């Protein structure tokens, strides 16, 4: 895929991650609004647990995650209650969970679990997760699938909020994991470095939740988002893979 920096698998979480992280002093709480568009029929329980992990990881640096519901497009859509507020609001950030077919059409490299569309300057808006690959990676390493999903989501959200090109040698924002690293996954030890935390907070201070657009009128709701078009539109931008 053009413009994508290919990195296999995900971040490294090991005892070495703690060495790169210092204490993060939080003077005030900031917030970020996030909406999930699920095309892969992820179980509600899995999405809830994964979202909780994201919330805890960002809470460590004084960032409150506000989840604006889940928009479903697969088989589970017919069985999901309609949340009109979710359909009529647009979050600052969107996580699109792709099917294997979508990943193939987008030519996402093998081994990549997720990626983010990052502009030259400012805050990114859309991150992608390939759920089938997350499941396979978790099963192959005998690690918890929901925890891995939450960590992938947190990592890609990090790319949306950090300067373009950010990668770390350890901690949540490291971009490569092998099977041994996956087996040692411990979400309790994951964190951002002090610099990353400062950069994320600075980005959110410049992009407060008050700039949210409330979609109104026919054809303008978040549910009308075309993932294929969005996927194609993001390709020329720099994207960070996991």
Q: What is the pLDDT of residues 83-114, one digit of tens each?
A: 555 556 788 999 999 999 999 999 999 999 99
Q: Mean pLDDT over all residues of the chain?
A: 76
Residue 229 has pLDDT above 50, yes or no: no
Residue 218 has pLDDT above 50, yes or no: no
Residue 73 has pLDDT above 80, yes or no: yes
The number of angstroms, rounded, from the C-alpha of 171 to the middle of its chain's C-alpha atoms is 16
Average pLDDT for 128-138: 95
> For residue 27, what pLDDT is reported?
65
Domain 4-241 part of CATH 3.40.390.10: yes
Write the burial class of residue 52 (CB in 10 Å: 0-12 exposed, 13-18 middle, 19+ buried).
Answer: middle
Residue 103, SS3 per DSSP: helix
> For residue 177, what pLDDT is reported?
78
Average pLDDT for 132-149: 94
> For residue 81, what pLDDT is reported?
56
Other CB atoms within 10 A of residue 189 CB: 16
């Amino acid at each position: 895929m053009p413009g994508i920096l290919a990195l296999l698998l995900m971040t490294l979480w090991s005892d070495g991650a703690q060495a790169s992280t210092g204490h993060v002093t939080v003077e005030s709480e900031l917030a970020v609004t996030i909406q999930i568009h699920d095309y892969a029929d992820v179980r509600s329980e899995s999405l809830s647990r994964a979202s909780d992990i994201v919330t805890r990881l960002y809470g460590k640096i004084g960032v409150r995650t506000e989840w604006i519901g889940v928009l479903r497009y697969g088989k589970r859509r017919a069985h999901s209650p309609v949340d009109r507020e979710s359909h009529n609001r647009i979050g600052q950030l969107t996580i699109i969970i792709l099917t294997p077919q979508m990943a193939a059409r987008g030519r996402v490299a093998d081994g990549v679990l997720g990626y983010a569309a990052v502009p030259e300057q400012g805050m990114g808006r859309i991150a992608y997760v390939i759920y089938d690959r997350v499941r396979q990676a978790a099963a192959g390493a005998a690690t918890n699938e929901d925890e891995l999903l939450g960590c992938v989501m947190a990592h890609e959200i990090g790319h949306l909020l950090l300067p373009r090109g950010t990668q770390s040698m350890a901690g949540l924002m490291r971009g490569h994991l092998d099977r041994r690293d996956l087996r040692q996954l411990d979400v309790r030890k994951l964190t951002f470095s002090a610099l990353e935390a400062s950069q994320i907070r600075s980005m959110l201070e410049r992009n407060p939740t008050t700039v949210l657009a409330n979609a109104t009128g026919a054809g303008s709701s978040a549910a009308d988002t075309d993932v294929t078009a969005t996927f194609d539109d993001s390709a020329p931008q720099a994207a960070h893979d996991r």
